[in-house]
Amino acid sequence: MKLTDNVLRSFRVAKVFRENSDKINCFDFSSNGETVISSSDDDSIVLYDCQEGKPKRTLYSKKYGVDLIRYTHAANTVVYSSNKIDDTIRYLSLHDNKYIRYFPGHSKRVVALSMSPVDDTFISGSLDKTIRLWDLRSPNCQGLMHLQGKPVCSFDPEGLIFAAGVNSEMVKLYDLRSFDKGPFATFKLQYERTCEWTGLKFSNDGKLILVSTNGGTLRVLDAFKGAVLHSFGGYNNSKGVILEASFTPDSQFIMIGSEDGKIHVWNAESGMKVALLDGKHTGPVTCLQFNPKFMTFASACSNMAFWLPTIDD
């Protein structure tokens, strides 16, 4: 089944899960699309089975809190940042609920975490104005970059380069093998005084970069030239909430939630609005991602919703 405008418009909430007492701050699908794991401000980690459509396990990180959870390449391990006590990143085995390793180094809150799509490398960005490069096998930081402002960062789909959005005004591209030489490309965008950049993602085909903000606009850049191809607005975000925006796996569409619980979808190439979907969320849709392998997506406020299409185009 192919994603089309009509298929996207037909998506409806198939299941709602109320496992959390506070907002879900992040979730991540496993690469095979079979599970999704969420982190919440209530200090819990919930693992869902996407095929059976039900929660499988709940773990707690009461002491350190849990944010920005990411699967590693082994389906039963995750890394996540802390939102209490310190700013150490933790590597957890879900199988026996034990920490495998700690990654200390950041001195302020971690605001970006991206796992390499090809190996055990990951990068983190923090309010301490640094990006750190790590390897799951070592607690020592493998590389450190000092920046002029708050960073957002992400690997490209091949895991060869990573992009850093700095100070809400420029995107810098680094070669992973020689990042200490500085960026090989820098794209300067018009500075937006009204909002801050809160996320950066590559499309799966590597051609586009999506920059999300805590305001009412999203930007799509040409990943090679840095030109702004589209700016998307028209969704509600008056309180400066961090709303996750995502590409669909085929790189054809861009989605974001809003503070009124609705999901907005645009065509990435034409920039046309394709769909407005009502998730009946009780609060802002802070997290939103399409399943990498199956025709379903998930959205979250303090509830988690699984969506399915109601037509097969």
Q: Is position 53 within any domain?
A: yes
Share of the chain above pLDDT 90, in %: 76
Mean pLDDT of 79-86: 84
* Helix segments in the chain, DSSP class H: 5-9
Q: Is the pLDDT of residue 113 over 70?
A: yes
**Residue 51 belongs to domain with CATH number:** 2.130.10.10
Q: Is the pLDDT of residue 263 over 80?
A: yes
Q: Is position 55 within any domain?
A: yes
Nearest to 307 by CA among 269, 282, 280, 286: 280
Q: Is position 15 within any domain?
A: no
Residues in the chain: 313
Quickly state the pLDDT bin for 237 (edges 50, 70, 90).
Answer: confident
Nearest to 152 by CA among 202, 86, 101, 206: 202
Q: Is position 165 within any domain?
A: yes
Q: Is the pLDDT of residue 313 over 70?
A: no
Per the structure, the count of domains in the chain is 1
Q: Is position 41 within any domain?
A: yes
Q: Is position 183 within any domain?
A: yes
Instruction: Tell me the C-alpha distance between 48 and 126, whole Å.
Output: 28
Q: Is position 111 within any domain?
A: yes
Q: Is position 313 within any domain?
A: no
The Cβ of residue 182 has, within 10 Å, a number of other Cβ atoms equal to: 11
Give the domain range for residue 205.
Answer: 27-247
